[in-house]
Structure 1
Amino acid sequence: MSASIASIFYLSLVTVLAAKVSTSCDVVDDKCLKCLCMIRTGCDIERECTDDGQCGLFGITKLYWLDGGKKVIIGDNPNAVGAFERCVLEPFCATETVRGFYNRYQKAVNPLSNNTCVDLVVKHIHGIQAKEVPKVLENEVLDCYKHLH
């Protein structure tokens, strides 16, 4: 099994588990999370933090983690040193961070497109203040979404 297929399988399992325990009003579906991860990092579950502070399979920064609700792995403390890294490098916690971020900001800005997933990916990559959808990115999201089962 290739690394990409294994990563998608693992992310599928994580998103199913996350959906079962998520406490927020969730607007982010599993296919969208898979596309976000594929576009950001190729769903590389072994990805560490980069020099510019993007960590894990979603490329989450510390500010994004804070905005996403300072999610932590079970038994951790959000104020403990290293809590950010431990969370965003663990796929379940990283997934909950993305859900928390989008659930927090989905109504704060005008939709950029007619597709919630496109909006999520654009806001994830370009920030919550993004004003337009790059056509190449929109096509990449829609193509990914269409081909996932």
Structure 2
Amino acid sequence: MPRGQLVLPACMFGAFVIWATGSTGQFIPNLNNACYACLCHVATMCDMSNGCVGGYCGPYNISRVYWVDAGMVVLPDDVPERNHAWSDCARSFSCAKRIIAGYLVKFGKDCNGDGVTNCFDYMMVNGNGGYGCHAPLNRSANGRRWLQRFDQCRL
């Protein structure tokens, strides 16, 4: 090996790529496992047994519209055209994380104007929707509950 050349083992390189790019293969700043855990806590207190209630499914409380906007992510060997493909994916923690990542690739931005796109912004995107993330969450009881839960897991 030439002097000064850095060689990383393949397993370390693979771990870096997954961390740096999120679960969609696209770079999403500050979206890491701690943020995923916090977003899950905010949505349902990360209740892994959360089924589908009122059109929202899984530990991240994902709606069909959110799933479509996220790119219609499905479980391995499934197809988006299948009737319950979205809800089955939303109820699977690992698949739901891929839905979240797809949505944040599309809509993630600095919602609170502090010059940084971070987990708080992603929580606002999820709380207000991709097109209205700038609105304060404390306007509703649900928004206030999300803010309280975010404070519990603040990164």
Q: What TM bracket, shorter-length normalisation? A: 0.7 to 0.9
Q: What amino acid is aligned across from residue 74 of structure 2 in structure 1? A: V
Judged with a 3 Å threshold, the aligned counterparts in structure 2 of structure 1 residues 48 and 102 are, in CA distance, closer, same or farther, namely same
C-alpha distance in 2 between matches for 1:113 and 1:133: 12
Q: Is the 8 A contact 2:127 2:133 kept in 1?
A: no
Q: Is the 8 A contact 2:23 2:98 kept in 1?
A: no
Counterpart among 28, 32, 35 of residue 29 in structure 1:
32
TM-score, with length taken from structure 2: 0.71
Judged with a 3 Å threshold, the aligned counterparts in structure 2 of structure 1 residues 21 and 60 are, in CA distance, closer, same or farther, namely closer
- Which ranges of structure 1 fall in alignment gaps of 5 or more residues? 1-17
Counterpart among 148, 151, 154 of residue 145 in structure 1:
154
Higher RCO (C-alpha under 8 Å, 6+ residues apart):
1
Hey, what does 2:56 align to over in structure 1? 54
TM-score, with length taken from structure 1: 0.73
Judged with a 3 Å threshold, the aligned counterparts in structure 2 of structure 1 residues 138 and 116 are, in CA distance, closer, same or farther, namely farther
C-alpha distance in 2 between matches for 1:54 and 1:42: 14
Q: Once the two structures are aligned, what percentage of the paired residues are identical? A: 23
**Higher Cα Rg, which structure:** 2
C-alpha distance in 1 between matches for 2:86 and 2:97: 13
Hey, what does 2:3 align to over in structure 1? none
Deviations 1:67-119 (Å, cap 9, x if unpaired)? 11100111001111211111101111100000000011125xx5324352111
C-alpha distance in 2 between matches for 1:22 and 1:48: 24
Hey, what does 2:85 align to over in structure 1? 83
| Aligned-pair CA distance for 1:39 | 1.2
Q: Is the 8 A contact 1:31 1:145 kept in 2?
A: no
C-alpha distance in 2 between matches for 1:69 and 1:54: 17
Counterpart among 87, 103, 106 of residue 104 in structure 1:
106
Aligned residues: 126
- Which ranges of structure 2 fall in alignment gaps of 5 or more residues? 1-17, 139-143
Q: Is the 8 A contact 1:45 1:91 kept in 2?
A: yes
